[in-house]
Structure 1
């Protein structure tokens, strides 16, 4: 008997069938077979498999519950290369307890009713900021705290501080930022050097 595709595969197939079309979170969840963790599967497709799935954070014309895959081209993705040995070493070092809230592996989950606490590896310096999978950049965190970390955003900088950061950036980083802003707002600039 053929194995039924998982929710991540169903979501990917849905995006591929609707390439370039704006999809809502409700449509994606329905396509996933009703998976409660559909948003996590979308993040995995984007961050771990390199699919360019855009949201309102990437394009100004998208609403918070809208997503679009414009191309089947994939970009380099974060790898999940934490070995079993590293995982065991970090868990042992951290006493099999969450380094954020202190719950121990196997304890009753304070937020999950009948579930038990499960620990995962959390990065001290996020991979998107240059962190790696070395034991010194990893800590044991429970699933609740890890999800909370993913949902926590840095406070938005005010305009003065943001402009100061951009001014201090390298020319190359400023060009990358400009290209991203032009794409986000669907703008084009004419070359001012042409006369």
Structure 2
């Protein structure tokens, strides 16, 4: 007697997306396709980040609302090894050390309480130019980001601002904002 192998939730989501290319899909549909699995969003991220699937979210497209997803095209059928290979521990440590163990978008550090989620901050390594847009896993293209900023930054982040641009923004700000920047910099670098 042969036993039929049960499909994983990731495989069920994969098949559901392939059957719905070009159609906006809501999160409850994905969860239902995965037989109620609560980790469906993690499986989506794996398809995007590890396998290079072009699945858009509200972070990528203004036409999509939170909880809506869109697979724009069928994957190539071959696994892109650039998406599978993870960062080495050494490279992760270099990025975190260079960035002062601080989120490069909001300035929070591990252990701080994220005001948006009220959870302790965890840092991740994010790409300045996303891998799906041709970015590389190299020190110059990586930065430390908290969970919140990393989720929001996917595929829409701009290049790192220049010192001249940052200074021009600070000069345009009011004294209260300039004082806040000064205090933050003094706290971060001492003095």
TM bracket (short chain) = 0.5 to 0.7
Question: Is 1:28–2:27 an aligned residue pair?
Answer: no
- Any unmatched runs of 5+ in structure 1? 58-63, 155-195
Match of 1:44 in 2: 46
Q: Report if the CA contact (8 A) 1:100-1:141 is conserved.
A: yes
Give runs of aligned pairs for residues 147-158 of structure 1, distance below 5 A.
147-150=151-154, 152=156
Check 1:109–1:74 CA distance in 2 against 1; reply closer, same or farther (3 A cut). Answer: same
Q: CA offsets, 1:77-129, max 9 Å, x none?
A: 5234211111111111111110111001111121112x200110111222233
Q: Report if the CA contact (8 A) 2:53-2:71 is conserved.
A: no
In structure 2, what is the Cα distance between the partners aligned to 1:13 and 1:102? Answer: 39
Check 1:72–1:29 CA distance in 2 against 1; reply closer, same or farther (3 A cut). Answer: farther
Check 1:54–1:98 CA distance in 2 against 1; reply closer, same or farther (3 A cut). Answer: closer
1:151 shift after superposition: 6.8
Q: Report if the CA contact (8 A) 1:21-1:69 is conserved.
A: no
Choose which of 143, 148, 169 in structure 2 pairs with 1:144.
148
Root-mean-square deviation (Å):
3.6
In structure 2, what is the Cα distance between the partners aligned to 1:11 and 1:82? Answer: 23
Match of 1:129 in 2: 133
Q: CA offsets, 1:54-89, max 9 Å, x none?
A: 99x9xxxxxx65659868934425234211111111
- Any unmatched runs of 5+ in structure 2? 1-5, 61-67, 159-191
Give runs of aligned pairs for residues 76-155 of structure 1, distance below 5 A.
76=80, 78-113=83-118, 115-150=119-154, 152=156
